[in-house]
Amino acid sequence: MSLLERDNLLFQGADWDFSLIQRIHDAIETIGVGEMGLNVYPNQIEVITAEQMLDAYASIGMPLFYKHWSFGKRFALHEASYRQGFMGLAYEIVINSNPCISYIMEENSATMQTLVIAHAAFGHNHFFKNNYLFQEWTDADGILDYLEFAKGYITRCEERYGHAAVERVLDAAHALMSHGVHRYPRKKRPDLRSEERREKERHLHLEQTFNDLWRTVPTKGAAAKPQLSDERRRALLELPQENLLYFLEKSAPRLQPWQREILRIIRQIAQYFYPQRQTKVMNEGCATYCHYRIMTRLHETGQISDGAFLEFLQSHTNVTRQPEYDDPHYGGINPYALGFGMMQDIERICTKPTAEDREWFPEIAGSGDAMAVLRDVWANYRDESFISQYLSPHLMRQWRMFHLVDDPDQPELRIEAIHDERGYRRLRRSLSRHYDVGWSDPDIQVIDVDLAGDRRLILHHHVLNRTLLHKDDAQRVLQMVANLWGYAVVLKEVEPATGAIFQEHVAHPHETLF
């Protein structure tokens, strides 16, 4: 190794310090932004200890979060398995905020810090900033301020109304979190920064316009109320409504203002995390692809040594390992492996296409500029659409994928499709559907309620593939809904095609709880 090359090295050995982190970041930035054309938020890299990493795990990685027992439970769980050595800790956590915060662990070696910065501070960061779902649904500028507000608000509620009362609302809101998101854009975008201000304004308005005299004004007889048609009544309540938290926040007749506000907070947070659930494969794939490219370039340009590169490869192959279905370690499809594999495949299609690729992907095959294609993919797709568009026959053959169907009416399991000419499209369609959250989450909607009558809330679960809800859990959650709603709630499990009702759950509110 010549003297010049040696000088080029960013580091030798495993030790690192803050100036080295800065140099690593700058070297990666040169490659990531300069050569790959990544577009990232400014980075904020925070060094933490293993214990702080466990803390961060407990609060879904967010630097500040309100207090709830379930986070304590999660912490205890992680801590126990970590101490027993069942679980290693992640090397990093990255937060979709502006500036983009990445936590890196102090135990990492210099190579690992390089990998982590390339992966999180550039890969994930680029994805957060550019993907349409994140742009549509999350507010990277405001999230930290909003969490601060949420934490403070919930603490104040606990002081004012007691731990138990707040905990009941939070429990119920958490149970409904997966049904507390808007799946389609509404008229107005959420702006988290203004949420806090608006809450104050709402409160102030109530105080300013408060007049005790109204209480004494005699009310008219009920007969004066005009009868609304069913259609009109439902339209006024925005029914049917699939965002249960939103509906309860807006329409539950007996909630206190602070209870509504807590539902709103949980709803906002659920909405913030919603894109992450839909882009697991792409997000990890993007980050993994970026770190692979960047580390390779760093090695090519002599900025990291052969030893460091081998250390990186070892950890990289661990992350992207996909055990086969009959392997005892098999635990579903590894999103890192699938995402990375597909993105490398896209690169191959762009640069070295086969005749098959030209037939399947005429618009990108042989285009030469893989990065441009990938940047476009990262910006405009989510897992479902990404897989249904870009999973290539080549990769399906490489993974030897097959489609297994388990129909309880049949005596045996059946192989529906395998990696052959007849099966490619069907395989791809089925796999992409697995990543569609709209398909994997049960479809539950508020169908009707007669606010002027008995106020019984009617929910429907549109049953897919005859798979009913987990009965015990459904009953528990329904009980919470009833407590929030304040009146009886009924949940019907309905076959959407025929309207046949499989099952009905009913819950009545505990009067004492709210």
DSSP annotation string for 193-243: HHHHHHHHHHHHHHHHT--THHHHSPPPPGGGSPPPPHHHHHHHTT-SBS-
Shorter beta-carbon distance to other proteins: residue 16 or 514: 16
> Closest approach of Cβ 188 to other proteins, in Å?
27
Q: Which positions from 310 through 329 interact with other proteins, judged by CB under 8 A?
A: 322-327
Binding of other proteins at residue 407 (CB under 8 A)?
yes
Residue 56 vs 373, nearer CB to other proteins? 56
Residue placing its CB nearer to other proteins in the complex, 68 or 316 = 68
Is residue 154 helix, strand or coil?
helix
- Using the minimum distance from each CB to other proteins, give the nearer residue, 177 or 370: 177
- β-pair partners for 428: none
Closest distance between other proteins and the C-beta of residue 486, in Å? Answer: 20
CB 261, min distance to other proteins, A? 20
- For the chain, what's the residue count? 514
Q: Is 478 helix (H, G, I), strand (E, B) or coil?
A: helix
Q: Which of residues 111-170 bind other proteins (CB under 8 A)?
A: 163, 167
Q: How far is the CB of 395 from other proteins (least distance, A)?
A: 10
Bond from prior residue into 99 cis (ω within 30 degrees of 0): yes
Cβ–Cβ < 8 Å for 143, 191: no
Which of 83/200 has CB closer to other proteins? Answer: 83
- One residue of 75, 132, 161, 309 binding other proteins per CB under 8 A: 75
Cβ neighbours for 180, distance < 8 A, ≥ 6 positions apart: 173, 243, 244, 245, 246, 263, 266, 267, 270, 271
Q: What's the DSSP call for residue 408?
A: T
Choosing from 431, 446, 457, 494, the residue that interacts with other proteins (CB under 8 A) is 431
Binding flag, residue 108, other proteins (CB under 8 A): no
Site for other proteins in 434-453 (CB under 8 A): 434, 442, 444
CB atoms near residue 193 (< 10 Å): 14
Output phi, psi for 245, to 5 deg: -65, -40
Q: Is residue 508 involved in binding other proteins (CB under 8 A)? A: no
Examine residue 419 and tell whether it contacts other proteins (CB under 8 A).
Answer: yes
Contacts of 94 (CB under 8 A, 6+ apart): 61, 100, 101, 102, 103, 120, 121, 124, 125, 128
What minimum distance in Å lies between the beta carbon of 394 and other proteins? 14
Query: How many whole angstroms separate alpha carbon 408 and alpha carbon 411?
Result: 7
Task: Indicate which single residue of 185, 218, 411, 499 sits in contact with other proteins (rule: CB under 8 A).
Answer: 411
> By rule CB under 8 A, what count of residues binds other proteins?
95
Of residues 178-237, which lie at the interface with other proteins (CB under 8 A)?
178-179
Should residue 359 be labelled a site residue for other proteins when binding is judged by CB under 8 A? no
Q: Which of 2, 3, 15, 42 binds other proteins (CB under 8 A)?
A: 42
For residue 336, the minimal CB distance to other proteins (Å) is: 14
